[in-house]
Amino acid sequence: MRRRLPAPATRCPLTVVGGFLGAGKTTLLNRLLAGSHGRYAVLVNDFGAINVDAGLIQDHDGQTLRLTNGCVCCSLADGFLDTLMRVLAEPEPFDHIVIEASGVGDPGAIAEIALVEPGLVLRGVVVLADAERLPGLAADPRLGDTLARQIRAADLLVLNKRDLVDEAGRAAARATLAALAPGIPVVETVAAALPAAFFDLGGAGPDRAWRGSTRLRAEAVPHEEAFQRLLYRRTGAFDRVALERALTAMPAALLRLKGRLGLADRPGMHLLQMVGRRWSLSPLPEPAPDAAELVGIAATDPGIGPALAGLLDAALRPPHIPHGDRTRCA
């Protein structure tokens, strides 16, 4: 009798997209599919409920899109689980699995799958909120607890439909998010327009896009002035415990961080992936060149470059002095 499942050769990243009905989940998924080049499996829920959304999602060239249905939080979940089992058993692994929680579903319950499924690593739980409806929904006696459960599950909050509210409305929406999920990064969008780079930071890796840079830079992402791209490049290796502390303390304006780094107590390079508050480190099959290279996406905020560099530098154990001058980091 076969006892254990064979250990997976690779771990597929899982992103869970949640948010109440109409928050923009499907728009975000469409952007994700349009802006990426990998082989994606996308599991969409709420078939019966928001069929308009399901109809919007187009099968994207070179990607695999799977639709399922049923509320994944309840006893009707078997159709969803059957689909996910087929995705996980696919002989050619996917580059990324994205699951859209239902409009009343708990994305946290779905994210738990990655905690027990060795073939998956949780990239993050992205929860959208409709800036216009958010304060009202949060106060709705029927819906407030469902909404709070969703928002508390987020690693990154997307406050969408920013164009539909004035400054007072925006402040009310942000206050609602801050009260429900203090400290979770919030990115404000119109039509769920996260920067494309958010999904596909640096293509295959940060080196391709940013090789040659020697210091942390911040630059506006073209046409996406609300965001800036950050680069952090150092020699040396990180102290693991200090790095964990630094990542936990990252400013809320940092939405995404990805890159390769060495750890002082481990051989080889490691891949850091961070979405909002959630991060993971996984070993890479290549020798450590005793250097770190990270790219990030942040909300426009002049202080974020120095803040990020300061936190990371404090965790770096330099056999070598870092290149560049910390104070000059943009």
Which residues are near other proteins by CB under 8 A? Answer: 1-5, 20-21, 46-51, 54, 69-82, 84-85, 88, 103-104, 106, 109-110, 112-113, 115-118, 141-143, 145-146
Q: Which C-beta is closer to other proteins: that of 89 or that of 321?
A: 89
* Pairwise CA distance, residues 137 & 21, whole Å: 11
Q: For the residues of 271-290, what is the DSSP string, one character each?
A: EEEEETTEEEEEE-SS---S
CB 236 to other proteins: min, Å: 32
* Pairwise CA distance, residues 279 & 161, whole Å: 27
CB 17 to other proteins: min, Å: 16
CB 97 to other proteins: min, Å: 12
What residue has token string 């899982």?
14
Q: Which C-beta is closer to other proteins: that of 49 or that of 209?
A: 49
Q: Which C-beta is closer to other proteins: that of 4 or that of 208?
A: 4
What residue has token string 């819906």?
143
CB 76 to other proteins: min, Å: 6
What lies within 8 Å, CB to CB, of 187 at 6+ separation is 156, 157, 158, 159, 194, 227, 255, 299
* Pairwise CA distance, residues 184 & 154, whole Å: 7
Q: Which C-beta is closer to other proteins: that of 117 or that of 290?
A: 117
Beta-strand pair 278-283/269-275:
antiparallel
Q: Which C-beta is closer to other proteins: that of 86 or that of 211?
A: 86
The H or E element that residue 85 is part of is helix 78-88
* Pairwise CA distance, residues 25 & 160, whole Å: 10
CB 1 to other proteins: min, Å: 5
Q: Which C-beta is closer to other proteins: that of 135 or that of 259?
A: 135
Tokens of 46: 């709420």
Spatial contact of 98 and 39, defined as CB atoms under 8 Å apart: no
CB 110 to other proteins: min, Å: 7
